[in-house]
Structure 1
Amino acid sequence: MPPTQAESVIRSIIREIGQECAAHGEIVSETLIAFMVKAVVLDPSNGFNMDRTLMKSDVQNLVKLCMTRLLDTKNPSLDTIKMQVYFDMNYTNRVEFLEEHHRVLESRLGSVTREITDNRACAKEELESLYRKIISYVLLRSGLGSPTDIKTVREVTAALQSIFPQAELGTFLTLSKKDKERQLKELTMIVTGIRLFNRDCGKGGEGIDDLPAVLHVAIPATMQHIDYQLETARSQVYRYTAILEKAANDPHMRAELQPYMLKEALYNIRQYEVFLQIILSDIITGAQEVEMMTKQLGAHLEQLKMTIKSKTAVPTSQVFPIFIALSTLWTSLQDETIVVGVLSNLFTHIQPFLGAHELYFPERAMQRHLNGATVKTDVCRMKEHMEDRVNVADFRKLEWLFPETTANFDKLLIQYRGFCAYTFAATDGLLLPGNPAIGILKYKEKYYTFNSKDAAYSFAENPEHYIDIVREKAKKNTELIQLLELHQQFETLIPYSQMRDADKHYIKPITKCESSTQTDTHILPPTIVRSYEWNEWELRRKAIKLANLHQKVTHSVQTDLSHLRRENCSQVYPPKDTSTQSMREDSTGVPRPQIYLAGLRGGKSEITDEVKVNLTRAVDET
């Protein structure tokens, strides 16, 4: 059958089942119907062949089976499936939820943003109208107050005029569309920071709730409520488990109790416990974020007070970044408020899917079955076998992981959500938590834990056998596919939340690391005899030397005078350079020669008469 035709057939089946359920007064979502159709087809007891085309009789039978299961109001399995579908369609992790929330806010502000960025105001009235739109945009984007509240509008207007007076609208209109949008966001953050600072100083903050105080009350209250419900659910789980363990050894009790119904109730309450843990984990993360942001908010406000003090004017480069930081923190606090509200709402809406446990198993009947049974908590079960560890030497072809040999031991993705695979397969569906301290079995790149050493050894003898049993059990009870995280084995039933993370790689154990060793050159003490000599001529030379030494005698003589002698030393003054100076200085000089020549040129006759005159004075005349 072509894919388009098959899709059309499935849609018609879903539509028909929905109409039949509505006719019986039961409103069922298409998502739940689609899940139920796949679950019925997977169940081998229904006889559907996945490899052949569905005939008309097959479709009628499929519709009938789905109707029977969807209209069964006393079926814990259906309640569990409804809970899983509702949680899957309404839960997203914090990051994705906040991204979607911001995307929705942007889309809602899109029309207001376009009215501002596409405006071509020229007249005075048009500019005033544009300025009012900017004020409304700032209020809507910040979420601090209503645009219809006059006091809030006045406060925002005053804050905006202090940083963006109406006279600057002309410059604003000349900007490009992207620059306008960026400036609008920046103005919103600065105005928000100013209002938060004024509120802290007691001079404004109209319409601004005290989010830190609200969250500090709401988060602990929500956590306390979830903790209480979680403990109640766990108590119910422990009681159901104790009764099932007792019934496994008592055939009469097993016939009276209908264990399959109790196991479905156990799956229901276990799934509820898992969802509560997810919600509680997100709320704890939010509480940590709120505590950190509250400290940062107080630090920024204190920094602003120290910067501004009583000054009439402060450089914008000093205060604007702090205002923007204040706005960012406050937006994060608003996000946390929304997240807490959504998680609290989700927690409230999954409670009805617990089913009527009191109706199925009244308290009086439960107490009667619990007589003689030991109710153990998951922690107690782990402590009982904490010292029992798998001996790796017993398994040559299987790899076992332990905390001391695996760096990321706590981050490994354990199969079946950490429940013991052997116990589940051997007891036809009893869920007992595995104990990683016993050892984690690595089999075909997957990791399994067990509640006892014997269970680990039994599973390790034939893992495929027990894995097949778990798979077949999940086909009959489709709620186990999500509870035990068997989505890879049933790809047609992968929930939406798992499909978003399909590209996420599983964490592999880090059991190897770089290391170095050093070995001594000689571990044992050296036995080398350094005096050994193999050359006989060398030995002969040494022998002659020793013989000669035996014939030598050393003599020493000392007299009465010699023993008193000692080394002497003397000290002298070294010669030094000396000079003398007379009382006066004297000198002698010789006369300076003065000789003149005349008649060399300038005469009237052609013949020149040279005349030489020596005017040098005599020596004795000087």
Structure 2
Amino acid sequence: MDITPQIVQQVIAHCQKKGFVVTPSLATFYVKCLCVPESKDETGAVEIARERVPHIVDKANSAFTQADSARLENLKMQAAVFSQHQDTINSQRTEQIQHRAKAQQLLQEVCHRVGNHAKVFGDMVLYILHETGLYNASNKELVQKETMTALESVIPRQSIESFVAQSDAEKTKQLEELWKIVWGIRLFNRETHKGGAGIQDIPGDLASMVQNAQTVLNQHLDQAKKLCQNYVVVLENKKECGVLGNIEQRLMDEYVNRLQFIQFLTKTADSVTSIARHMALVRPAYDSLLTEIKAMVTSSTSVPKSTIYPKFIEVSDKWEAFRRLYNDMKGHKNVLDVLLEYKSSYTQALKPGMVEEAMKADVTRVKPTYNQVTLEKEINSLGKCFYSPALPGGTPLQFNGMCIVTILQKQDPMLKPSVADLGYIRYDEQFYGFSSEPALKAFINSPKAFLDQTLGNETFATEGLLHLLDLGKQIPSEVFLLGTRQKELGPVEVVMAEAGTQTGQIDPYKDYKYQWNEWELRRLALKLADLRNKRTHSCQTVQSHFKRENDTQTFPKKQSGSQTMIDQATQPKHTAQFIAGLRGDPTSKIKVVKVEFDE
């Protein structure tokens, strides 16, 4: 059994005693992060010793019982985004399951309805309304009227009888095409302003959502990146600014918080850009298709069904593509709303005076320069890694572009991003960036050693760096106590083999002399032992052969009179017996008469 809920309950109870409110999603997220050092199995679950549970609870309590903590706000932001992402996936999956279940129910009602053709037509309308998402429309009467009109143009009421006569499989196949044709007709009527009641302007709403989201994302990304640059300048010139001790650690926590904020914003912006790119491909094709249908309808009074119906189905498919993009955009919009709650969720320790002093000191600093040609020759000659002056287009950097060597060697407490002028290292078909030339050279000498240290690193888990370094996949899905997990058996392998079939009688193999009673067995044992005293002895000698008495041997002669068919016939006699004298005069006597017949 997964013990995460039990650990979470302990953490929440301990924090409540100290006056801190912790949400279950936050506690669950951090507890699983603390279990990252344990090795995962193929299902993503881990097993921990019972002694580790108090250690995990204490670490979680110390992390959650801090006031105005940038590190705690970072954990809250990660937990909120992760929870929102899971809620979106679960809600979409639930909606799809419920939609298909309701559609199957309505489909069965249409297929099994017989007799009343008007009810069959009504059931078909309800099925189409459900598939098009207008089953519970506000102006339901007008929506039903337009749907019935479009349906009757495809399959008149007089043709319902032939539809009912079909098999269930044929009805199902025809209905799945029918609702798309009707939906395509309604969408075309909407574009030509001849109907379209209850149909949401999904393309327009989607374009508006994308534009607004991109504006908000770009605005907050610019602000967050400028703020991170200020943190970098101050931390690199901390001595000149007088940033030491607790203030330095506080600024580091705020810097990591803003880096995580930028990472989430960047991923959301990439997703929104991808939706905008798909929308730019679907919208022209959709408009072109409607224009083509309009030209076909206006040029001829009668368009063949084989020509126009596939066009309506294609219009329906394009609209469904808009609907999927719209649902995805709503999910990203919800994530963006969650992120904006953490844009200033703590008191910022970075003061304008620190930034001004750091800027003055940074002017006098000598910026490092890199000779990419020399680096390429030196690195490629080793044969372990390969140098790349620039990152190939569309290729992601591992660890989200952060310098992993600086973190693991702990030479600099600041989490540093990679420098583009330094170039990149390709190792095992993956690209890595570094913040300095010494860090790059340290990596190429032993790349596997550095990468192994990133697996199950407890520091990354406790400081909330897993998502920032793109190591979120290391977070386990479930947590079990060591030795208590019951693993499910794999699939049973079926082996086919030849076997002889018993065609004759099967012997029972039953021992009728079996005795289970101990005293009966003892009695039989004594009986068998007593037989030894009653055995007989015999011997054969030469003289014993002459003790035979031949006179006592009897050989009776055959009797000739016993042969059949000599004395009399072999046919048996038939005897009949009856009573005489039952009728007649009073003087007659009653007697029994017996008659024998030879044949």
- Which TM bucket (shorter chain)? 0.5 to 0.7
Residue 461 of structure 1 and its aligned partner are, at CA, apart by 4.8
The CA deviation string for residues 173-201 of structure 1, in whole angstroms up to 9 with x for no partner, is 34444433332221111111111222222
CA distance in 1, matches of 2:372, 2:94: 48
Task: Report the counterpart of residue 520 of structure 2 in structure 1.
Answer: none
How has the CA–CA distance of structure 1 residues 116 and 363 changed in structure 2, closer, same or farther, with 3 Å as cutoff? farther
Task: Report the counterpart of residue 132 of structure 2 in structure 1.
Answer: 142
How has the CA–CA distance of structure 1 residues 388 and 236 changed in structure 2, closer, same or farther, with 3 Å as cutoff? farther
One-letter amino acid of the counterpart of residue 150, structure 1: E
Task: Report the counterpart of residue 422 of structure 1 in structure 2.
Answer: 405
| TM-score relative to the length of structure 2 | 0.67
The CA deviation string for residues 103-122 of structure 1, in whole angstroms up to 9 with x for no partner, is 553234343333333x3331
User: Structure 1 residues 390-399 or 163-172, which shifts more?
Assistant: 390-399
- Does the 8 A contact of 1:398 with 1:443 survive in 2? no
Of residues 222, 227, 237 in structure 2, which corresponds to 1:246?
Answer: 237
Answering whether residue 180 of structure 2 is matched by residue 189 of structure 1, we say yes
Aligned pairs for 1:43-122 within 5 A: 53-55=49-51, 59-60=53-54, 62-91=56-85, 102-117=96-111, 119-122=112-115
Of residues 299, 302, 317 in structure 2, which corresponds to 1:313?
Answer: 302
Answering whether residue 344 of structure 2 is matched by residue 349 of structure 1, we say no
Aligned pairs for 1:498-537 within 5 A: none
How has the CA–CA distance of structure 1 residues 399 and 493 changed in structure 2, closer, same or farther, with 3 Å as cutoff? farther
Instruction: Give the 3-state SS of the residue equivalent to 1:348 in structure 2.
Output: helix
CA distance in 1, matches of 2:278, 2:450: 43
- Does the 8 A contact of 1:441 with 1:447 survive in 2? yes
CA distance in 2, matches of 1:301, 1:176: 34
CA distance in 2, matches of 1:135, 1:436: 61
CA distance in 1, matches of 2:18, 2:130: 46
Q: Structure 2, unaligned stretches of length 5 or more?
A: 39-45, 480-599
One-letter amino acid of the counterpart of residue 121, structure 1: V
Instruction: Give the 3-state SS of the residue equivalent to 2:199 in structure 1.
Output: coil
Task: Report the counterpart of residue 326 of structure 1 in structure 2.
Answer: 315
Instruction: Give the 3-state SS of the residue equivalent to 1:313 in structure 2.
Output: coil
One-letter amino acid of the counterpart of residue 481, structure 1: L
The CA deviation string for residues 222-275 of structure 1, in whole angstroms up to 9 with x for no partner, is 11111111111111111111111111x4594223x5222222222211111111
CA distance in 2, matches of 1:54, 1:292: 55
Answering whether residue 437 of structure 2 is matched by residue 453 of structure 1, we say yes
Aligned pairs for 1:471-510 within 5 A: 474-475=459-460, 477-486=462-471, 490=474, 492=476
Aligned pairs for 1:455-470 within 5 A: 455-461=439-445
**Highest CA radius of gyration, 1 or 2?**
1
Answering whether residue 180 of structure 2 is matched by residue 205 of structure 1, we say no
Instruction: Give the 3-state SS of the residue equivalent to 1:480 in structure 2.
Output: coil
Task: Report the counterpart of residue 593 of structure 1 in structure 2.
Answer: none
Residue 20 of structure 1 and its aligned partner are, at CA, apart by 4.3
Task: Report the counterpart of residue 361 of structure 1 in structure 2.
Answer: 349
CA distance in 1, matches of 2:62, 2:252: 20
Task: Give the aligned length.
Answer: 467
CA distance in 1, matches of 2:29, 2:220: 28
Instruction: Give the 3-state SS of the residue equivalent to 2:425 in structure 1.
Output: strand
How has the CA–CA distance of structure 1 residues 438 and 93 changed in structure 2, closer, same or farther, with 3 Å as cutoff? farther
How has the CA–CA distance of structure 1 residues 252 and 207 changed in structure 2, closer, same or farther, with 3 Å as cutoff? closer
Of residues 314, 318, 327 in structure 2, which corresponds to 1:338?
Answer: 327
Q: Structure 1, unaligned stretches of length 5 or more?
A: 45-49, 376-380, 496-622
| Larger RCO: 1 or 2 (CA < 8 Å, sep 6+) | 2
The CA deviation string for residues 441-498 of structure 1, in whole angstroms up to 9 with x for no partner, is 345675432234343234445657766876767346441122112357x564799xxx
Of residues 217, 224, 232 in structure 2, which corresponds to 1:233?
Answer: 224
One-letter amino acid of the counterpart of residue 433, structure 2: T
CA distance in 2, matches of 1:399, 1:411: 24
Of residues 239, 245, 254 in structure 2, which corresponds to 1:265?
Answer: 254
Instruction: Give the 3-state SS of the residue equivalent to 2:198 in structure 1.
Output: coil
- Does the 8 A contact of 2:426 with 2:432 survive in 1? yes
| TM-score relative to the length of structure 1 | 0.65
CA distance in 2, matches of 1:386, 1:410: 22
- Does the 8 A contact of 1:487 with 1:493 survive in 2? no
Aligned pairs for 1:273-422 within 5 A: 273-309=262-298, 311-354=300-343, 356-357=345-346, 359-361=347-349, 363-364=351-352, 366-367=354-355, 370-374=358-362, 385=370, 390-393=375-378, 396-403=381-388, 409-410=392-393, 414-422=397-405
Of residues 148, 157, 165 in structure 2, which corresponds to 1:166?
Answer: 157
The CA deviation string for residues 602-622 of structure 1, in whole angstroms up to 9 with x for no partner, is xxxxxxxxxxxxxxxxxxxxx
- Does the 8 A contact of 2:250 with 2:349 survive in 1? no
How has the CA–CA distance of structure 1 residues 473 and 434 changed in structure 2, closer, same or farther, with 3 Å as cutoff? farther
